[in-house]
Amino acid sequence: MTNCQETAAQPADLIARHAPLLDRAIAATETREAWSPFRDSPSSKIHGAEKPAAGKAAFAARRDTRFTIDQPGITGWVGAEVSPFTQQPLGITYPRSDPQALIAAAQAAQPAWAAADPELRLALCVEIAQRMYDRNFEMAHAVMHVAGQSYTQAFSGSGPNALDRGIEALAYAARAMRAVSPDGTYHRDFAGQPVALEKRFTLVPRGLGLVICCASFPTWNAYPSMFASLATGNPVIVKPHPIAILPMALVVETARAVLAEFGFDPNLVTLAADTPEAPVAGAFVADPAVQIIDFTGSPRYGSHLEQTVVGKLLYTETAGVNSVVVESVDDLDDAARAIARASCLFSAQMCTSPQVIYVPREGIATAAGHAGFDTVAQAIVAQVDAIADQPAQAAGIMGAVQGQVSLDVVTDATAEAARRDLRVLRPAAPYDHPDFPEARTMTPLILAVTPAEVDLYAEERFGPVLYIVAADSGEAAVAEATELARTRGTISCYLYSTDAAFLDAAEPRYLAAGANLSINLTGAMWINFAAAYSDYHVTGLNPAGNACLTDLAFVASRFRIVQNRRPARVEIAAQ
Amino acid sequence: MTNCQETAAQPADLIARHAPLLDRAIAATETREAWSPFRDSPSSKIHGAEKPAAGKAAFAARRDTRFTIDQPGITGWVGAEVSPFTQQPLGITYPRSDPQALIAAAQAAQPAWAAADPELRLALCVEIAQRMYDRNFEMAHAVMHVAGQSYTQAFSGSGPNALDRGIEALAYAARAMRAVSPDGTYHRDFAGQPVALEKRFTLVPRGLGLVICCASFPTWNAYPSMFASLATGNPVIVKPHPIAILPMALVVETARAVLAEFGFDPNLVTLAADTPEAPVAGAFVADPAVQIIDFTGSPRYGSHLEQTVVGKLLYTETAGVNSVVVESVDDLDDAARAIARASCLFSAQMCTSPQVIYVPREGIATAAGHAGFDTVAQAIVAQVDAIADQPAQAAGIMGAVQGQVSLDVVTDATAEAARRDLRVLRPAAPYDHPDFPEARTMTPLILAVTPAEVDLYAEERFGPVLYIVAADSGEAAVAEATELARTRGTISCYLYSTDAAFLDAAEPRYLAAGANLSINLTGAMWINFAAAYSDYHVTGLNPAGNACLTDLAFVASRFRIVQNRRPARVEIAAQ
């Protein structure tokens, strides 16, 4: 037994330990069934009383301190996060490192990582995911107080639901890498002469991965992006949004600890914290060593990258305009409740939040008879009110508004509505958060408009603003919704109809627009919930992003194959 | 029975007929063994006496006629191909179509193709491959007389060996598409309420594919590129090199016939013939409808595409500088023969042709004792002479030189050698082709140089020019060869050493340069032979190309996934 074996964690054990989970995840990506190794409820019945308290305390202990990460090239400490719930600074600062130092450190760390067994890289990523799950109560408070998500949403959506997407990326990475045999023998006659070759095929990573995270839901795409690059052998530099650094700092901290524990250079994962005044992403994007860029964030910067990055892999998710078409329903209240809940969730600050609701101006059929446009619109307003008027429920669903900019969106939309003399179906107003009296809250503004106002609603309004559009007909609604999807992008579209023929005609239009579609969803599941392993998130076919998170295409290009071949050794037994 | 069933070929039959072949191809890509459904010898013992003669006659009948393709937007007829064997114009003209007409026609054809069963698309591509195999004698003459390949090489390399690569791309397309379940059911409790969803997942092609072909070996990359795009639902516009249109016109003709036979719009595959004076590729590259570009050709245009194309898929294979390092050998003549054959094959006009041969200036160890630099160099020269001095053998191996430009390469290299007073180990000279007295032939120029002449040999010389470099040592040779690979690109590197420790040290360097490596290959197989299903061609890790033809990454991004989901129908039996 060597010293090494005594002191370092055992790779073979780790691979064996996580193999069943990875195999189960692969099976789920094949069947698209519901599955998760995690529990996404924060209930202390599941987790015990201790973990929730410990997580809250861990977050509290971070306040007004430096978040130490022992990475190279630290030139200062930055951080100006403000809690949307207290509107007070968190007081946490993070190392700002010289980009060249992080790049050089990642390059130095890469050879050993590239040479490691791909199965070990996969297992280490699973281990990171499980450690993040272990500290998920801390993560929940971190996400709450930088992004504004409610406690339960931060726990589930930024925890297990996001971790599952990371493991889903690992499942695809495993499938893509295992598709390459490490060796092969080749026997063929050439001109009557037998030729026997031994061939070896080595997976070679592309280079450094840069993961640029969004502000409102940082872990959601960061896990799949990080794990897709890491598992395929590429170091990762994490560039968090400057107003939401803490969640990604926790991830970087955990990843580095796991890597170091298993004898790898922790600089395989580093944090590139910056400030709005001195953004650093461009320095990484421009560096030839950075070969893979995963971007989640504004359409403005995403589109800049899409139009300028050449010779590198670029995966983007930006934003679009998600629509609902209500053509006919069984139960109006059920549909209205589903739409209202999706519109209220996280105050419409989600990539899947609906913004435009098309209702035929002549009204719709319901099981209870005809419902006019106003009846449908008022049903939606009533369901929003039902949430907004109960502060405990509003707090659990809407959480807080992350930034003043989203309040400005509401103010501007209200002013523009007044200028155009639009019908305000529901004015926006703050709700009183039961736990955080200073919380930046805002319940949805709901406006009734006609297609003449398309310039207003066809642009993403990142905040709680909802347009109910009086469409000429159900068909016209689908035509406009899909045109919006095609030209402005969409992550998720919603359609309500009880008419099978109408649905049959509508579905190909959504398909042609590259729009994922949820049909007639009501009930307990959020209609804008995207389940890892089961739902494909983002099609890559419209301006809302160029990639799917995740599918084989999301991982298959992150590594290359280099071969060598030589004469096969003589098989003496076969003579 | 409907009229349709009576008149159109049966999709289900075709899928069933080709399923075993496709499954066998998939198995071969997994094991990397030797396999082909085709025979790559033109022997009449295999094919009978009739097919060779019919193929030759079919080619002859094309001479001095229009090659009719019933595609839209024809504005004229172009074609100025000249046979390298007769130096006479072929006299064949091809339709020049307005690019916008071809794009519009492909767009019109796409919806039905996109909606077709992916298994049918795969089977139709297999059918196209088999039909091309059926007319491979015609193809062999076509390739001979536009590219200059010898008859046997044109038959094998541009026929079965290239078709196999097309089928290999289909195997990967099948793997990537079959990895996506067409549907799934999702059952989960949310807040204690059971939710059951039906989900459907549709494969959606990216857009139009443009396949830009090279002049010297057009079918080699065209088959995998065309089939990768077609199988995943994308129409293909084939842009042949203006001096080598005929082979691709045959492919387009066959593809269109098969598509039409099975009820699809033949404009799914069209020919974009042009002239050197009025090149047309740029019009397609710039069009937003063209979403996938496969390019094989000059590093100049390839690099232009790599640096300018954004928002589209781009797969390139250009060229590099392939090297041989001879550090030590068992049998010098065996190694010299292997190197000489690879250097002579198609007069070094192949992407895998070696150009630079490093030999330690102090000589090398062989089983028969030490061999000095000159002894090694003369052994290679002697083996080249052995081929060049027998016209029948020279004709079978070297074929003809495609263009005057490659003769100019030899002339320039000879002149530069004289200016620098370099040792000419073997002057270039034509050989007398036994069948074509007017053939443009040229046997290799072989120069002895030192690393001081790196500016000469580190640039691709597309023609029969070979530099034997006196390296400081075997280690220095590997260092220089891999640096050349990394900075100038390479498709294939070769290394000879009997020293296991030397090989162990060298291999990681080739790996780090992203260079595929053949070690100690001698014998009947051409050392620069790349076998479909078994060899990965091009790593994508150095300037010789950004893609591997083929692997999962080559196909996985050519389609996207769009989903829809709705409440599951009540399962009455389960109540």
Q: Is the peptide bond before A550 cis (omega within 30 degrees of 0)?
A: yes
**Cβ(A214)–Cβ(A267) under 8 Å?**
no
A546–B contact, CB cutoff 8 A: yes
> What does the angle CA A178 – CA A180 – CA A182 come to, to the nearest 5 degrees?
100
Distance of CA A83 to the CA centre of its chain: 21
Q: What is the pLDDT of residues B64-112, one digit of tens each?
A: 999 999 999 999 999 999 999 999 999 999 999 999 999 999 999 999 9
Residue of B nearest to A30 (CA): B181
Instruction: Verify whether the Cβ–Cβ distance B518 to A560 is below 8 Å.
Output: no
Strand pairing category for A493-496 and A517-519: parallel
Q: Which residues in chain B touch residue A546, judged by CB atoms under 8 angstroms apart?
A: 311
Residue of B nearest to A546 (CA): B311
User: What single string gives the DSSP state of each residue in B83-148?
Assistant: -TTT-SB---BEEEE-HHHHHHHHHHHHHHHHHS-HHHHHHHHHHHHHHHHHTHHHHHHHHHHHH-
- Partner-chain residue, chosen from A180, A520, A548, that has the shortest CB–CB distance to B561: A548
A520–B contact, CB cutoff 8 A: yes
What's the 3-state SS for B200-221? EEEEEECCEEEEECCCCCHHHH
Instruction: Verify whether the Cβ–Cβ distance A188 to B308 is below 8 Å.
Output: no
Residue of A nearest to B203 (CA): A511
Residue of B nearest to A35 (CA): B188
**pLDDT of amino acid B8:** 59
A461 min Cα distance to partner chain B (Å): 25
- CB < 8 Å from A in window 355-414 of B: none
- CB < 8 Å from B in window 250-279 of A: none
Instruction: Verify whether the Cβ–Cβ distance A195 to B540 is below 8 Å.
Output: no
Q: Which of B538, B163, B529, B150 is nearest to B319 (CA)?
A: B538
Instruction: Verify whether the Cβ–Cβ distance A34 to B188 is below 8 Å.
Output: yes
B185–A contact, CB cutoff 8 A: yes
The structure tokens listed for A41 are: 């409820």
B175–A contact, CB cutoff 8 A: yes
**pLDDT of amino acid A9:** 75
Residue of A nearest to B560 (CA): A539
**Cβ(B121)–Cβ(B233) under 8 Å?**
yes
Report, as an integer, the average pLDDT of B357-381. Answer: 98
Instruction: Verify whether the Cβ–Cβ distance B184 to A567 is below 8 Å.
Output: no
Q: Which residues in chain B touch residue A560, judged by CB atoms under 8 angstroms apart?
A: 514, 539-541, 548, 553
Instruction: Verify whether the Cβ–Cβ distance A32 to B183 is below 8 Å.
Output: yes
Instruction: Verify whether the Cβ–Cβ distance B310 to A311 is below 8 Å.
Output: no
Instruction: Verify whether the Cβ–Cβ distance B306 to A307 is below 8 Å.
Output: no
Return the residue matching tokens 């807040």.
B191
B500–A contact, CB cutoff 8 A: no
Q: At residue B575, does pLDDT exceed 60?
A: no
Report, as an integer, the average pLDDT of B467-490. Answer: 98
Confidence category of residue B191, pLDDT binned at 50, 70, 90: confident
B334–A contact, CB cutoff 8 A: no
Rounded (10°) CA dihedral A538, A544, A545, A548: 0
- Sign of the CA dihedral with A336 first, then A338, A339, and A340 last: positive
Instruction: Verify whether the Cβ–Cβ distance A199 to B564 is below 8 Å.
Output: no
- Partner-chain residue, chosen from B195, B519, B536, that has the shortest CB–CB distance to A566: B519
**pLDDT of amino acid A10:** 86
Instruction: Verify whether the Cβ–Cβ distance B32 to A181 is below 8 Å.
Output: yes
**Cβ(A235)–Cβ(A267) under 8 Å?**
yes
Instruction: Verify whether the Cβ–Cβ distance B518 to A193 is below 8 Å.
Output: no
* Entry pTM: 0.96
**pLDDT of amino acid A6:** 44
Instruction: Verify whether the Cβ–Cβ distance A201 to B31 is below 8 Å.
Output: no
B546–A contact, CB cutoff 8 A: yes
Phi, psi of A489 (to 5 degrees): 90, 155
Instruction: Verify whether the Cβ–Cβ distance B560 to A567 is below 8 Å.
Output: no
ipTM for the whole complex: 0.96
Q: Which residues in chain A touch residue B502, judged by CB atoms under 8 angstroms apart?
A: none
Provide the residue-wise pLDDT of chain A in tens; the chain has 575 residues.
Answer: 344 444 457 899 999 999 999 999 999 999 999 999 999 999 999 999 999 999 999 999 999 999 999 999 999 999 999 999 999 999 999 999 999 999 999 999 999 999 999 999 999 999 999 999 999 999 999 999 999 999 999 999 999 999 999 999 999 999 999 999 999 999 999 989 999 999 999 999 999 999 999 999 999 999 999 999 999 999 999 999 999 999 999 999 999 999 999 999 999 999 999 999 999 999 999 999 999 999 999 999 999 999 999 999 999 999 999 999 999 999 999 999 999 999 999 999 999 999 999 999 999 999 999 999 999 999 999 999 999 999 999 999 999 999 999 999 999 999 999 999 999 999 999 999 999 999 999 999 999 999 999 999 999 999 999 999 999 999 999 999 999 999 999 999 999 999 999 999 999 999 999 999 999 999 999 999 999 999 999 999 999 999 999 999 999 999 999 999 999 986 544 43
Q: Which residues in chain A touch residue B562, judged by CB atoms under 8 angstroms apart?
A: 510-511, 514-517, 536, 539, 541
